[in-house]
A and B are shown apart, each in its own frame.
Chain A
Amino acid sequence: MIRAYRFDGNDELCLCHGPEGGPALLILPPLFDEANRVRHLLVEAARALADHGIASLLPDLPGCNESLVPLDRASISLWQAALIACAEQLGPISHVAAIRGGALLDGALGDLPRWRLAPVKGGQLLRTMLRARIASDREAGISSSSETLMEAARNQGIELAGNNLSPSMIRELDSAAPSEGSAVRLARFADDPLDAEARIAGAPLWLRAEPAHDPAMAASIAADLARWVI
């Protein structure tokens, strides 16, 4: 079911799945391009969670997906405020699940138990977008560098890989890191050498040059979340 939450004078859409009255999970998608590449995966995971008896909310962040707000009005802190509004209006929520850059936002929900798949720092997302911009500048015969682009970005904002980013978004993203917290369950892929409490079967679909879906991965995510929540 598609519901809406009110934030900053706009209606933002939120996909709601599963039964009311039980545990409810707020799903925080990756940020920017990465969100588009895992949209299908997350919707399928939400459906699978409903089959496990767990409700979930998958909100649009202002400036993203179906939102009518221009992206250049968004920032990390604005997204966090939007998530608080979403949880207040469409909750209560009991748990938070974040993928990649979504983990930069989950601190907004206070002390709720958090699950994170392959969390990433904001600076890393910014670096990738800067690189794409430098590469397309080069194709257009323009010579640019991370330093000069960042300097301009901090003062007047910048367009990076199709995303119009405000000076506040640039500053917040550059220093954003997943918040510290005790109640965090860290999930990674089976072949990832880094430590994790949970192992997910699948591959980082958010990196794919061509978007793809992986039903087994959606099921694996839902199964681990269900074990954790119930």
Chain B
Amino acid sequence: MSEIETSGASDAIETVVRQVLRDILGLSEDQVAGFDRDTELFGALPELDSMAVAGLLTEMEDRLGILIEDDEVDGELFENFGNLVDFARAKASA
């Protein structure tokens, strides 16, 4: 796979993660477009409770065609946007 294709696929995954967060949190396209790697999630977004996190994981599975195991989910995963995207990329390429 060439460099260009790799980064293209990664951008697609990042876009899906952005869209899932947009749908769960009810944010606008512009608001999620402003998320960068350091944007804090859990802790900074009070609406991200356990039910919302559960929905977020299931939607990521569905939209990315991945399977997330119980023991892969911890606080660190939702610490910031970068962690969540890295995790999604790793799962999608596995």
Interface size on A, as a range, is 20 to 34
How many A-B contacts are there with CB distance less than 8 Å?
59
Interface residues of A in 125-165 (CB under 8 A from B): 127-132, 134-136, 139, 145-146, 161
Task: Flag A190-209 by CB within 8 Å of B: 1 or 0 each.
Answer: 01000000000001100111
On chain B, the residues within 8 Å of A204 by CB distance are 23
- Is A67's beta carbon under 8 Å from chain B? no
- Is B66's beta carbon under 8 Å from chain A? no
- Is A33's beta carbon under 8 Å from chain B? yes
Task: Flag B6-42 by CB within 8 Å of A: 1 or 0 each.
Answer: 0000000000000100111110000000000000000
Are B23 and A132 in contact (CB-based, < 8 A)?
no
Chain B residue at minimal CB-CB distance from A132:
B54
- Is A68's beta carbon under 8 Å from chain B? no
Are B26 and A210 in contact (CB-based, < 8 A)?
yes
- Is A124's beta carbon under 8 Å from chain B? yes
Are A124 and B62 in contact (CB-based, < 8 A)?
yes
If the complex has contacts A134-B70, A145-B70, are A209 and B54 also in contact, measured as CB distance less than 8 A? no
Pick the contact of A33 from B19, B51, B70 — CB < 8 Å? Answer: B51
